[in-house]
Amino acid sequence: MDTSVTYILRTTEYAQCLAKVNGEHIYPNIDGKGIGEIKEFSIPKKLYKYGVIILTLDILHEPDINWRRQSRLIEVWLIKK
What is the per-residue pLDDT across 21-34, written as a single tens digit (0 to 9) for each? 999 999 999 999 88
Domain definitions of the chain by residue range:
7-80
Reported as a pLDDT band with limits 50, 70 and 90, residue 36 is confident
How many residues in the chain?
Answer: 81
Query: Is residue 46 over pLDDT 90?
Result: yes
CA gap 61, 39 in Å, rounded: 20
Confidence band (pLDDT; 50, 70, 90) for 35? confident
> What is the number of other CB atoms lying within 10 angstroms of the CB of residue 39?
19
d(CA 44, CA 66): 35
User: Average of pLDDT values for 14-19?
Assistant: 88
Radius of gyration of the CA atoms of the chain, in A: 13
Average pLDDT, the chain: 92
Beta bridge partners of 40: 10, 30
The one-letter code for the residue type at 41 is F
Single pTM value for the model:
0.85
What distance in Å separates the CA atoms of residue 29 and residue 40, rounded to the nearest whole number?
Answer: 6
